Structure 1
Amino acid sequence: MDWKKELVVNDEHYTYFDLPSITAAYQKDITAYPYSIRVLIESLARHEEIADLENLVNFNAKNPTGVVPFRPSRVVLQDFTGVPAVVDLAAMRDAVVKLDGDPRIINPEIPVTLVVDHSVQVDCAGTKESLSYNTEKEFERNHERYQFLKWAQQAFDNFEVVPPETGIIHQVNLEYLSDVILKNEKNILFPDSLEGTDSHTTMINGLGVLGWGVGGIEAEAAILGEASYFPTPEVIGVELTGSLSPGATATDLALYLTELLRNEKVVGKFVEYFGSGYKTLSLSDRATIANMAPEYGATCGFCPIDEETLAYLRLTGRTEEQVQLVAAYAKQNRLFYDGTETPEYTRVIHLDLSTVQSSIAGPKRPQDRILLAEVADNFATSLTNVNGPKGFGLNEKELTRQEKIAGTNTALETGDLALAAITSCTNTSNPSVMVAAGLLAKKAVDLGMQVPATIKTSLAPGSKIVTQYLEKGHLLEPLAELGFDIVGYGCTTCIGNSGPLAEEIETTLKESDLVVSAVLSGNRNFEGRIHPLIKANYLASPPLVIAYALAGSIKKDLTKEAIAVVNGKEIYLKDLWPTQEELATYINEFLEPADFQKAYENVYQSNERWNQIETSEGDCYDWDDASTYIANPPFFENLGAAIDDTESLKNLQVLAKFGDTVTTDHISPAGNISLQSPAGNYLKEHGLAYKDFNSFGSRRGNHEVMMRGTFGNIRIQNQLTPETTGGYTKLATTGEELSIYDAAMRYQQEKIGTIILAGKDYGMGSSRDWAAKGTNLLGVKAVLAESYERIHRSNLVMMGVIPFEYLLGQTADSLGLTGQERYSFVFPEEPAINQLIDVIAVGDTEIHFQVKLRFDSVADISYWKNQGILPLVIHKKMQKEQV
């Protein structure tokens, strides 16, 4: 069918696939479809995937069926997850050469942009030298990784690298990379869409662009021209009414929605915002709530294109021609939201924005929102709550415990802040909260307030734009006066790159095990993520980060108690909080398009230090066997060998048994590398001193380091070793307690396959491919869980690890499974989607039960048959070359 129509904009003739015509061909009305579904329909029509198009056009909002192949227009990578993805591409080229093929057949088929933003650490903070020192250390530590990326930049077509010191990937994407509406070489217009190797890729949804985070493995497949398959989603409409009250920030709204939508169980669903209140939100506010989609569990938090979208494109320096093109196409092709029509949603959730109150979230999860007035009491309660997501399992005396700081006359008390950081894409992209932080700091400095010296403070702007408007408004100076000097342009503390605390503080915390706190303007606060010695971590808006830093303790009620007393005068939060008028004045005066144009001028070549890095050339990478950063992974060693999963799923021993909410932060190694750990031992054996270990994130291109850190989080709790916290297990064959890595190697030596048992929401959190890659390399054949996070389930399948799910109402406990049994799965030679599989667990008794095979699409079965998605791609590319 020919659904193409012509559109003329500024005397330029374009063609496009007309959505009303497409849906009318199936006797459907375009107005019934959510805007996010309209984007998918256009993509299927443009790629001529007619069978899938017919299924989606017959979308039943109340009961969606079938699967959708998603072919994004482009892929964005950050360097932590991007480096291993590019390592795999390089390894695939080597694999093709071994098969006598042309290595260049492994090449991006769509535009790929990698933004280096995850490598900078806060080694130095609280001084004007912080930025230069941290940047120098970043380049020093990551030289091998950056050499490799420079090679990739010249070796692959369609591949660009945004160098360090530019900004966080999502803000760069929002401010510069996305054109919202794209055109190809045939002058066909279509909506921008993307996949990214960071969960918070969803931030781009705020711009009316459909995209979400995927694992590196799935991103590699998209890069190489493979579709990404997912079940046709339910679309949950969130109708916003009213407007935010004075004093309520976009952060407060994001935390409110995270709690609300988690409770509404939107995991794996699309969320789409609309309503009269939607029109009151700035685009930066929309980006803030879209950013948090992984925290509320949704695949995306879509914000349709409207007049505010166009205003933001103008503000950020996009050309007027592009703005007019976006407006013309979106309006003509019914992708423009004007409030006159309400699509059919699976269900609608209502939120009056005026009910949103100031809050923070913690101490261990982003969905655990606490009203500001209740924070102190909540912290006290968390100390004595059972050890878990909302508690520490301590006694009441802990609340007032003090410990003298080593070598000083100062004491730390339970609840005292050890770290305060303005960090992460969620908030450092939003002028309203960043200016609010600057204004609050200015008032605090004018009143003579100071932050206690025991608190590590830092400011990591989302991009240089933030620096420009804070500097023009004379707000950088007061921030620095309070210790919030700029430490770098990257994710820093939010991803665990918080760097060391003062030596005497770390010594005290190690010796005392005191529960101190951190407050950060991030989106993640899972256990062990922010800093291994800080147990209570809270998410807050940037101005509240500063307020808590000034107060010095999470136990202080900022709504009632004085933050501090200066020269006998009590100073309260209300004395510092900026008014809406002050915020508007600053933003209108100091934020303009020229700033964005200047910041992104010549962005790919603007970093001289990056430009000076020398690297090898050629189609294939010259691997350095001595490198502890970049190594050729073993994923293709048995390429072409027959699979034996029907036999390998017999007599599996449990490597670990977990409860609910085991995140990818628990599974995939992140943050600092401990001296006394399998990964630390590996680096020591290779001659590295502890100071040169760097972080797990920076070493994601070396499988030897990463597999040793898998399941190694210091807070993970394996039920096989209930008395020991951390990455340990009990070896079934001898009863020894070993690290999970060492136990996995012993099982492999004894040719015993292993399985992971888990509870609900297994693999929630960041889209870390190493959570699946590491599981694979440890020899795990299958995972049996109550439920999965979407990305991690997909990644397991793509790495050849089979995900099984307990039947509804059943759990390990209800079935009487202890983890001491051996498990055998009656696995068919030709498995089917969501097939029921018989299982026999043999321990003291024999337990028979059924589980669901979580192959969710035909593609999943194909991946399994080919030993994973990357071997599948190689097979297809080789066949195409030989034709």
Structure 2
Amino acid sequence: MKDSFKARTTLASGSNNFEIFSLAALKDRNVARLPYSLKILLENLLRFEDGVNVTRADIDALVSWDPKAAPSYEISFTPSRVIMQDFTGVPAVVDLAAMREAMIKLGGNADEINPLSPAELVIDHSVQVDAYGTADSLAKNTAIEFGRNTERYEFLRWGQTAFRNFKVVPPNTGIVHQVNIEHLARVVFDSEKDGVRWAYPDTLVGTDSHTTMVNGLGVLGWGVGGIEAEAAMLGQPVTMLIPHVIGFKLIGNLPAGATATDLVLTVTEMLRKKGVVDKFVEFYGDGLANLPLADRATIANMAPEFGSTCGIFPIDNETLRYLELTGRNADQIELVKQYAKHQGMWREDGAAPADYTDVLELDLGTVEPSLAGPKRPQDRVPLRTAKQVYQSAFVKMGEERKQKNPTATGTGSTTMDGKSFDVTDGAVLIAAITSCTNTSNPAVLIAAGLLARAARKRGLTSKPWVKTSLAPGSRVVTDYLAKAGLAPDLEALGFYTVGYGCTTCIGNSGPLRPEISTAVKTGDVVACSVLSGNRNFEGRVHPEVKMNFLASPPLVVAYALAGTLNLDLTTEPLGTGSDGKPVYLKDIWPTPAEIQEFISKSVDSTMFRKGYASVFTGDENWNSIRLPAGKIYAWNDKSTYVKNPPYFVGMTMKPNSIADIRAARVLALLGDSVTTDHISPAGDISKSSPAAKYLVAQGVQPVDFNSYGARRGNHEVMMRGTFANIRLRNQLAPGTEGGVTVHVPSGEQMSIFDAAMRYKQEGTPLIVIAGKEYGTGSSRDWAAKGTMLLGARAVITESFERIHRSNLIGMGVLPLQFKEGQNAQSLGLTGKESYEIIGLNGGAAKVVTVVATPDSGAPIKFEVRVRIDTPKEREYFQHGGILHYVLRQLAGAGKAA
């Protein structure tokens, strides 16, 4: 460890002394002007300076940061810990298990494959809303969850004992990001190494894009793919260009009737319009004094929706208040305070702002009740215009339906539980209070409970076609709703607790009642969902629901009462009360004073201490699962959940050379805003899909298919589900939806998987071509893994989302970007040409030439940018991927030792 700036010093906090790397050592360099987030990166560089991964020049570059200059200088960031959820964590642990075997074959020590810093996995993505609307919904869903996922849970229990520094939070506990802010986050680490007690900022990367929620606590972290997280666990720093930092100034107070959800939808709209991909966003201004920590976390959670790497808030008195509320000990809270003040990371009212690349400003008083939809989180819809937005979106969908199904009426009649009714266009079929974005926020949950109470008193009930659910992000939510006496009111409207985990927001909404499903199909109904989540991409929430709207928990309840989006909640009644009079939303909406009164008397630190006292222990269901032994995992060839992946087959210590790509074909020609939901397998496994055919061949019955997310540990299922989203539109197969393409040489239309396998047999490399914002959404490493396993060597787009571009490199797939103003249409590409990508120069090229040769006519020749942005990314690509690079480094180091 070097210390070129003599920054190592001692910090006293309470009765304890800590070694730190002090930014005060650089006070003559005007460090105070740096944004909060860059101060954290600067401390990281000072602490990890070794002359190799981090040099004095790196530290000088960050201290001399020019906020206006284009990012060009690469630094290494070493996070303090890694956090995962089970959908992304299972394949990560699968890869680590496979790497141990590969390490032995390379002549290294398998024990080198071990997390070097804390790695925590929260099992929260496996619970599905099968049962709802009854008091035993939670028990039923929990039993189904454990029945479906025993193989996966056995594997994770093995990992819990086989790897050091690896802990698992069992199912039925909470949502990863809520558990993170309420318990796991340290804010400032207190760590002992070689007999020395150190203090340093809590930093992390996570295998879920909403890792950024912890930014609300002043903790710097963001989502990465599982492959990057694995590398970080194994000691590899995250390489990045020193970013632009956008300052977002908040002033004023939220008005009555506006919630944190409305605020974050407004912020998301503003930042998406601004364009903040690959940038840091940092919130500042005196408005922060009026913004509770839970509201800050709500905003930070949705950084992926506004496109930035992070959306961070500084440490201040509100941070300390929240740490105390959530049961952190007094010594830890004092350390956070003393450390932040010493390092200039403490927010003071009226303080001069840092230097920022650019600044946006929002007066909180202008925020109004809002939704977002019908298919993107950045498309904010003021509540007052929600009806007309629905109607406008319906016009296009109605026209498409008429072309495909001229006899469709948009209405399906049914009888359920003795009641007869029609399910019509615009019907809200799913109303879900779900997702860490909002269930971590007592204000919006208490508001939902108070609205339910008022509606119940007026005699309103949820419409019978609405599937209602409440999926709290932690058990503390249940405790304070019960203490407030609001749980019975929510339950009376059907909002019984269905599970503690991510449900509807990630597509685990479960099946609709058969009667409802039949009605939807009969009338080809354009149905809707309303959820308090952060994602509403096409095909994500439920395959039978075509429009999805994000909203605050109280609005979710309101739409369950209304039962339709074809209604203006600001002017039209929700329904008729028991007194025969119309009931309007304004009649039952709680006041800020009511909400605060209930929070004050219902939420306390005792709940958090009790709720997290045995967070890693689990219940009887968890502890009764078989615990496999051994440091090398004994793969079960018959398992359809966990399989040894093929990434390291035939791997040698020397990487293969990077050659130009010749005679390639296009597997998919796609448009704008193709998300990782479109690319990566997600949601239900269609009974007619290649993945279903594989599972049936393995003896799995359709009732036991589970979801793609639950089967992420099986590459055979996942590669068959890549590009299989029901809403994917491949321009090679016009007029189709889903994972359909054309095998160009024969002209035959078939599934993307079948075409890829046919091309593989023919020895034909593949490419994918797409438009703007390719790979937005969740940080799904399978979007890159599946692309690679299907045989794609390169992806050419107009622009990439940060995480997916990085993941492609991590799997050895070349990301290429059209030059400004060019795209497939402007160049006249049909996707049926034969492609050459020339001038790769062993992976070192910044620009390469693409030659697209049609069956007849002149070749189309154009240049594209190679989006390998840093030297370290180039090394990863030249090794065939990040895991191959790490394996060779570790195996080589072991041999040298």
Match of 2:47 in 1: 46
Aligned residue identity for 2:478: T
When normalised by structure 1's length, the TM-score is 0.97
Match of 2:108 in 1: 101
Aligned residue identity for 1:402: T
Match of 1:135 in 2: 142
Identify the match of residue 485 of structure 1 among 477, 480, 496: 496
Match of 2:378 in 1: 367
Deviations 1:408-429 (A, max 9, x none): 8421110011110000010000
Identify the match of residue 15 of structure 1 among 16, 19, 22: 19
Identify the match of residue 433 of structure 1 among 434, 444, 454: 444
Match of 2:186 in 1: 179
Per mean C-alpha deviation after superposition, the further-off stretch among 57-66 and 402-411 is: 402-411
Alignment partners' CA distance in 1, 2:821 and 2:524: 39
1:745 CA displacement: 0.2
Alignment partners' CA distance in 2, 1:862 and 1:872: 8
Work out whether residues 652 and 824 of structure 1, in 8 Å CA contact, stay in contact via their aligned partners in 2: yes
Within the alignment, does 1:402 sit opposite 2:411 as a pair?
yes
How many pairs align? Answer: 877
Alignment partners' CA distance in 1, 2:840 and 2:467: 56
Alignment partners' CA distance in 2, 1:11 and 1:370: 53
Q: Map 1:451-462 to 2 at 5 A.
A: 451-462=462-473
Work out whether residues 643 and 867 of structure 1, in 8 Å CA contact, stay in contact via their aligned partners in 2: yes
Within the alignment, does 1:651 sit opposite 2:651 as a pair?
no
Runs of 5+ consecutive residues of structure 2 not aligned to the other structure: none
Q: Map 1:65-104 to 2 at 5 A.
A: 65-104=72-111
Match of 2:872 in 1: 859
Q: Does the C-alpha gap of structure 1 residues 636 and 352 become closer, same or farther in structure 2, counting only changes over 3 Å?
A: same
1:879 CA displacement: 1.2
1:151 CA displacement: 0.3
Identify the match of residue 817 of structure 2 among 788, 799, 805: 805
1:836 CA displacement: 1.2
Within the alignment, does 1:821 sit opposite 2:833 as a pair?
yes
1:6 CA displacement: 1.3
Aligned residue identity for 2:323: L
Per mean C-alpha deviation after superposition, the further-off stretch among 641-650 and 701-710 is: 641-650
Deviations 1:736-791 (A, max 9, x none): 10000000000000000000000001000000000000000000000000000000
1:101 CA displacement: 2.6
Q: Map 1:580-729 to 2 at 5 A.
A: 580-640=592-652, 646-647=658-659, 649-729=661-741
Aligned residue identity for 1:121: Q
Work out whether residues 108 and 892 of structure 2, in 8 Å CA contact, stay in contact via their aligned partners in 1: no
1:832 CA displacement: 3.2
Q: Does the C-alpha gap of structure 1 residues 393 and 108 become closer, same or farther in structure 2, counting only changes over 3 Å?
A: farther
Work out whether residues 61 and 234 of structure 1, in 8 Å CA contact, stay in contact via their aligned partners in 2: yes
Match of 1:271 in 2: 281
Identify the match of residue 61 of structure 1 among 60, 67, 74: 67
Aligned residue identity for 2:633: Y
Match of 2:128 in 1: 121
Within the alignment, does 1:330 sit opposite 2:340 as a pair?
yes
Q: Map 1:373-522 to 2 at 5 A.
A: 373-385=384-396, 401-405=410-414, 409-522=420-533
Work out whether residues 20 and 29 of structure 1, in 8 Å CA contact, stay in contact via their aligned partners in 2: no
Identity %: 51
Alignment partners' CA distance in 2, 1:712 and 1:830: 33
1:28 CA displacement: 1.8
Match of 2:34 in 1: 33
1:58 CA displacement: 1.4
Work out whether residues 397 and 526 of structure 2, in 8 Å CA contact, stay in contact via their aligned partners in 1: no
1:398 CA displacement: 11
Identify the match of residue 160 of structure 1 among 155, 167, 171: 167
Q: Does the C-alpha gap of structure 1 residues 771 and 392 become closer, same or farther in structure 2, counting only changes over 3 Å?
A: farther
Identify the match of residue 563 of structure 1 among 574, 598, 607: 574
Aligned residue identity for 2:675: T
1:838 CA displacement: 1.3
Runs of 5+ consecutive residues of structure 1 not aligned to the other structure: none
1:387 CA displacement: 9.6
1:65 CA displacement: 2.7
Within the alignment, does 1:321 sit opposite 2:327 as a pair?
no
Work out whether residues 87 and 632 of structure 1, in 8 Å CA contact, stay in contact via their aligned partners in 2: yes
Aligned residue identity for 2:541: I
Alignment partners' CA distance in 1, 2:164 and 2:658: 40
Alignment partners' CA distance in 1, 2:410 and 2:704: 35
1:724 CA displacement: 0.8
Deviations 1:531-572 (A, max 9, x none): 000001100000000001001110111000110012311111
Within the alignment, does 1:199 sit opposite 2:209 as a pair?
yes
1:383 CA displacement: 1.5
Q: Does the C-alpha gap of structure 1 residues 735 and 473 become closer, same or farther in structure 2, counting only changes over 3 Å?
A: same
When normalised by structure 2's length, the TM-score is 0.96
Identify the match of residue 870 of structure 1 among 883, 892, 895: 883
Aligned residue identity for 1:505: I
Question: Match of 1:808, SS?
Answer: coil
Match of 1:849 in 2: 862
Aligned residue identity for 1:869: I
Work out whether residues 177 and 211 of structure 2, in 8 Å CA contact, stay in contact via their aligned partners in 1: yes
Q: Does the C-alpha gap of structure 1 residues 749 and 347 become closer, same or farther in structure 2, counting only changes over 3 Å?
A: same
Work out whether residues 527 and 546 of structure 2, in 8 Å CA contact, stay in contact via their aligned partners in 1: yes
Alignment partners' CA distance in 1, 2:406 and 2:382: 25
Alignment partners' CA distance in 2, 1:755 and 1:614: 43
Deviations 1:227-253 (A, max 9, x none): 111222110000001110001000000
Deviations 1:298-340 (A, max 9, x none): 1100001011000000111111111111000100111111131
Alignment partners' CA distance in 2, 1:397 and 1:421: 32
Work out whether residues 384 and 392 of structure 1, in 8 Å CA contact, stay in contact via their aligned partners in 2: no
Alignment partners' CA distance in 2, 1:721 and 1:75: 41
1:47 CA displacement: 0.2
Identify the match of residue 749 of structure 1 among 745, 752, 761: 761
Question: Match of 2:205, SS?
Answer: strand
1:722 CA displacement: 1.0
Work out whether residues 406 and 507 of structure 1, in 8 Å CA contact, stay in contact via their aligned partners in 2: no
Question: Match of 1:662, SS?
Answer: coil
1:865 CA displacement: 1.8
Alignment partners' CA distance in 1, 2:408 and 2:347: 51
Q: Does the C-alpha gap of structure 1 residues 842 and 758 become closer, same or farther in structure 2, counting only changes over 3 Å?
A: same
Q: Once superposed, what is the RMSD of the aligned Cα atoms?
A: 1.7
Question: Match of 1:841, SS?
Answer: strand
Identify the match of residue 155 of structure 2 among 135, 148, 154: 148
Deviations 1:224-278 (A, max 9, x none): 1111112221100000011100010000001001111100011111000000111
Work out whether residues 173 and 204 of structure 1, in 8 Å CA contact, stay in contact via their aligned partners in 2: yes
Work out whether residues 657 and 842 of structure 2, in 8 Å CA contact, stay in contact via their aligned partners in 1: no
Deviations 1:11-30 (A, max 9, x none): 211121111313x4xx5202
Aligned residue identity for 2:19: T
Aligned residue identity for 1:849: F
Per mean C-alpha deviation after superposition, the further-off stretch among 768-777 and 856-865 is: 856-865
Work out whether residues 836 and 851 of structure 1, in 8 Å CA contact, stay in contact via their aligned partners in 2: yes
Aligned residue identity for 1:874: L
Q: Does the C-alpha gap of structure 1 residues 155 and 112 become closer, same or farther in structure 2, counting only changes over 3 Å?
A: same
Alignment partners' CA distance in 2, 1:606 and 1:93: 28
Question: Match of 1:184, SS?
Answer: strand
Work out whether residues 206 and 229 of structure 2, in 8 Å CA contact, stay in contact via their aligned partners in 1: yes
